[in-house]
């Protein structure tokens, strides 16, 4: 099947070829373009086709509608799959395996990938966007990795891509699920450009007028389409709380999140109280696991980070807090998850290491084929 034929057959992933550029659209606007298992399979096929098609020079990833690039994975479906089949590899584990393979493919893609991170960019959306060669945010961008809230860890490569942030800031973002603006994202290295959202609306017309010059690399030419001369660099709200984040979150594995919480408790500012309340509402076990995983990931390869994350996700869904977190916050919406244990002080080091230890022998790991 040709690239054009494949793309016409994908209802939740729209695509068109415009002047040698594949414009791939996550097309579930009613669900904020959350990734379904079918979408992941389709995206994987599309990237494989584009990789082998010499007529395709680059790929653009965007979200349908005016609210989101991608709000993450389809957590509701994962919840029901986990409840109905908690101890087998289908379908929930396969979802993560295939999602991570797709994200790894984007990170290693030989042709330029451009992610238009307009609107909400969370979880699985970050996994796709952070692998792109050109990550474009706007004033409407709302970026976050909120997984600890539902009993998971920031995954899809977050233990690798968050290391561009200083250690304290990576822990703050990964543990609290704080939302970053487009200006924040550019300031800390999670976006390459921050442009007016209105500028992106006309990119197809500009792309159609692009005259390819074989003497210049593709990215240099594409930047003229996607990056205006008058780029915007508005105030980054993170700047206002940067000193407080550094004061409370600059810890290493020793002491972990319990130490962060104790430090926040000594600060009487509204920000510290709110941040402490946020941490106290998240899974205590996954907060500690996330802290250790983020610190480990700073010295690991991308492939090893994906392998570590898959093991943690397996544990979290198999015998951790994921099912209860999703039940309380997304399914029943009672906002009262019964995490076990209920406090940071009750989280045992052995339990944390259990989550960080792989469920598989090295040669049997589902992602063993990823090249380091």
Q: Are the C-beta atoms of 200 and 135 separated by less than 8 Å? A: no
Q: Kindly name the residue from 45, 99, 147, 258 that is annotated as catalytic.
A: 147
Q: What is the DSSP letter of 343?
A: S
* End-to-end alpha carbon distance in the chain: 31
Q: Kindly name the residue from 72, 124, 131, 177 that is annotated as catalytic.
A: 124
Between 230-244, 311-325, 342-356, the lowest mean confidence (pLDDT) is in 230-244
Q: Please provide the DSSP assignment of 134-202 as one string.
A: EEEEETT-EEE--GGGGT--S-TTHHHHGGGS-HHHHHHHHHH---B-HHHHHHHTS-SEEE-HHHHTT
If you average pLDDT over residues 108-112, what whole number do you get? 97
CA–CA distances in Å: residue 185 to residues 63, 140, 188, 365: 18, 12, 5, 33
Residue the block writes with tokens 């289908």: 90
Would you call 202 a catalytic residue per the annotation? no
What is the predicted pLDDT for the residue at 251?
Answer: 83
Q: What is the torsion angle, in degrees rounded to the nearest 10, for the CA atoms of residue 88, residue 96, residue 369 and residue 162?
A: -140
Does pLDDT of 202 surpass 60? yes
Does pLDDT of 6 surpass 60? no
Q: Kindly name the residue from 74, 99, 155, 309 that is annotated as catalytic.
A: 155
Strand pairing class (113-117; 134-138): parallel
If you average pLDDT over residues 288-299, what whole number do you get? 97
Q: What is the pTM of this model?
A: 0.94
Of 129, 81, 77, 123, which Cα lies nearest the Cα of 309?
A: 123
Between 51-60, 250-259, 308-317, 345-354, the lowest mean confidence (pLDDT) is in 250-259
Would you call 239 a catalytic residue per the annotation? no
Does pLDDT of 311 surpass 90? yes
Q: Are the C-beta atoms of 34 and 74 separated by less than 8 Å? A: yes
Does pLDDT of 338 surpass 90? yes
Q: Band of the pLDDT at 290, cuts 50, 70, 90?
A: very high
- Per residue in 85-109, pLDDT (tens digit) is 755 556 789 999 999 999 999 999 9
Q: Band of the pLDDT at 350, cuts 50, 70, 90?
A: very high
Would you call 155 a catalytic residue per the annotation? yes
Q: Are the C-beta atoms of 310 and 370 separated by less than 8 Å? A: no
Handedness of CA 6, 74, 130, 361 (dihedral sign): negative
Which residues sit opposite 68 in a β-bridge?
120
CA–CA distances in Å: residue 246 to residues 187, 330, 369: 16, 32, 38
Coil vs helix vs strand at 57: coil
Does pLDDT of 278 surpass 90? yes
Would you call 335 a catalytic residue per the annotation? no
Q: Kindly name the residue from 27, 45, 63, 73 that is annotated as catalytic.
A: 73
Q: Are the C-beta atoms of 166 and 196 separated by less than 8 Å? A: no
Show the DSSP H helices in 227-282 as ranges.
238-249, 256-265, 270-281
Q: Which domains can be identified in the chain, with CATH numbers?
A: 3-364 (3.90.226.10)
Q: Band of the pLDDT at 255, cuts 50, 70, 90?
A: confident
What is the predicted pLDDT for the residue at 253?
Answer: 57
Q: Band of the pLDDT at 214, cuts 50, 70, 90?
A: confident
Residue the block writes with tokens 């550019």: 186
Q: Band of the pLDDT at 113, cuts 50, 70, 90?
A: very high
Does pLDDT of 5 surpass 80? no
What is the predicted pLDDT for the residue at 9?
Answer: 54
- Per residue in 154-186, pLDDT (tens digit) is 999 999 999 999 999 999 999 999 999 999 999
What is the predicted pLDDT for the residue at 8?
Answer: 55
Residue 89 is encoded by which pair of tokens?
Answer: 């590899």
Residue 313 is encoded by which pair of tokens?
Answer: 């996700």
What is the predicted pLDDT for the residue at 99?
Answer: 97
**Whole-number Å distance between alpha carbons of 204 and 187:** 27
């Amino acid at each position: 099947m040709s690239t054009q034929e494949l793309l016409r057959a994908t209802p939740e992933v729209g695509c068109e070829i415009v002047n040698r550029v594949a414009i791939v659209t996550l097309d579930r606007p009613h669900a904020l373009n959350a990734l379904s298992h079918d979408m992941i399979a389709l995206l994987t096929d599309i990237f494989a086709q584009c990789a082998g098609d010499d007529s395709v020079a680059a790929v653009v990833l965007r979200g349908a509608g005016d609210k989101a690039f991608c709000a993450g994975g389809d957590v509701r479906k994962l919840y029901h799959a986990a409840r109905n089949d908690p101890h087998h590899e289908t379908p929930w584990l396969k979802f993560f395996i295939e999602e991570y393979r797709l994200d790894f493919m984007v990170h290693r893609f030989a042709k330029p990938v451009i992610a238009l991170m307009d609107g909400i960019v969370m979880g699985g959306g970050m996994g796709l966007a952070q692998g792109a060669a050109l990550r474009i945010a706007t004033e409407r961008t709302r970026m976050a990795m909120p997984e600890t809230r539902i009993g998971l860890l920031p995954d899809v490569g977050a233990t690798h891509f968050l290391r561009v942030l200083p250690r304290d800031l990576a822990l703050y973002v990964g543990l609290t699920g704080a939302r970053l603006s487009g200006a924040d994202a550019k300031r800390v290295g999670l976006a390459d450009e921050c442009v007016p959202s209105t500028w992106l609306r006309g990119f197809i017309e500009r792309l159609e007028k692009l005259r390819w010059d074989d003497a210049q690399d593709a990215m240099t030419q594409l930047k003229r389409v996607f990056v205006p001369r008058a780029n915007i660099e508005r105030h980054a709200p993170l700047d206002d709380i940067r000193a407080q984040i550094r004061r409370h979150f600059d810890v290493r594995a020793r002491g972990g999140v319990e130490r962060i919480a104790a430090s926040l408790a000594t600060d009487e500012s509204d920000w510290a109280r709110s941040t402490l309340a946020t941490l106290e509402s998240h899974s205590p076990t996954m907060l500690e696991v996330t802290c250790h995983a983020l610190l480990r990931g700073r010295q690991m390869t991308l492939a090893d980070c994906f392998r570590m994350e898959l093991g943690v996700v397996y544990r979290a869904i198999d015998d951790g807090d994921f099912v209860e977190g999703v039940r309380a916050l997304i399914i029943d919406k009672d906002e009262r998850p019964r995490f076990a244990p209920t406090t940071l002080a009750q989280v045992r080091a052995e339990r944390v290491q259990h989550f960080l230890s792989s469920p598989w022998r090295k040669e049997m790991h589902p992602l063993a084929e990823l090249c380091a």
